[in-house]
Amino acid sequence: MKNEKDIALEFNEFSKNYTEDMIRCVPHYMDLVSSFTKNLPEDFKPEHILDLGCGNGNITAQFIPYFPDSNYTLVDASKEMIDLCQKQFQDYNVKYCNTYFKDFHFEEGHYDLIVAGFSLHHCSNNERQALFKKIYSALKKGGIFSYCDLMISKTNSDHPSLLKEWGGYVNSNFPDGEKWAWVMEHYKDYDNPTDYSLQFEWLKLAGFTNIQTPFKDGYWIYLQIQK
């Protein structure tokens, strides 16, 4: 995998047509994104929300209509993505951190809700295990950690068939094949997806016990975990 600086530059470029590209390149993208608000407890009223790898703000934008007065912290390594969020959320209580997860300070017991949409696969396995522990510590009791991603290791025996199905989806939207070639180049250089069963174990080791799977289609998965 390439280094962190390369990843930030890659997403600076990707920011130009982020939402359109995600919808047309990621199967079930809108179902996964909408899952973040569909499955919250009815009486859940988060005061502090942390969005890890906020991108252009698509996940935070799901919460704003429901929790307009909450305090949001958005973290992303791409300056261009942060700029897009600042323009979109200027009327709300949002602060921004243009940094990597490992360099972000997780305040203990501070957050009611921590979310990550298609961002944790950029972490190595060791980084993700450490991150889960930091997230557990940073949540208040009863707080929720929710995230969606592709959850299959590249060594999984189902991985070749996953790539075939995924490629068929992307090529149906971009028939010239150039977009799929770009996706695969990005996937090879920057992405480290991990089997969901292994992530379950890491979440349990971090201290979580209430782990739910409200949306799952193949290996495209949304998890909601309560402390």
pLDDT at residue 1, rounded to an integer = 44
Please report, for the chain, the start and end positions of each structural domain, with discontinuous segments joined by +: 4-226
pLDDT at residue 53, rounded to an integer = 95
Computed from CA positions of residues 110, 93, 66, 214, in that sequence, does the dihedral angle turn out positive or negative?
A: negative
Instruction: Return the residue matching tokens 């709300």.
Output: 92
Does this model's pTM top 0.85? My answer is: yes
Segment 121-144, tens digit of pLDDT: 999 999 999 999 999 999 999 999
Structure tokens at 226: 């309560």
Superfamily of domain 4-226: Vaccinia Virus protein VP39 (3.40.50.150)
pLDDT at residue 16, rounded to an integer = 54
Which H or E element spans position 107? none
Order of all β-strands in the sheet with 111-117 = 94-97, 71-75, 48-52, 111-117, 139-150, 220-226, 210-217
- The one-digit pLDDT tens for each residue of the chain (227 residues) are 444 444 444 444 444 578 888 999 999 999 999 999 999 999 999 999 999 999 999 999 999 999 999 999 999 998 989 999 999 999 999 999 999 998 999 999 999 999 999 999 999 999 999 999 999 999 999 999 999 999 999 999 999 999 999 999 999 999 999 999 999 999 999 999 999 999 999 999 999 999 999 999 999 999 999 99
pLDDT at residue 17, rounded to an integer = 76
One-letter identity of residue 45: K
Rounded to 5 degrees, what are φ and ψ at 198? -70, -40
pLDDT at residue 5, rounded to an integer = 43
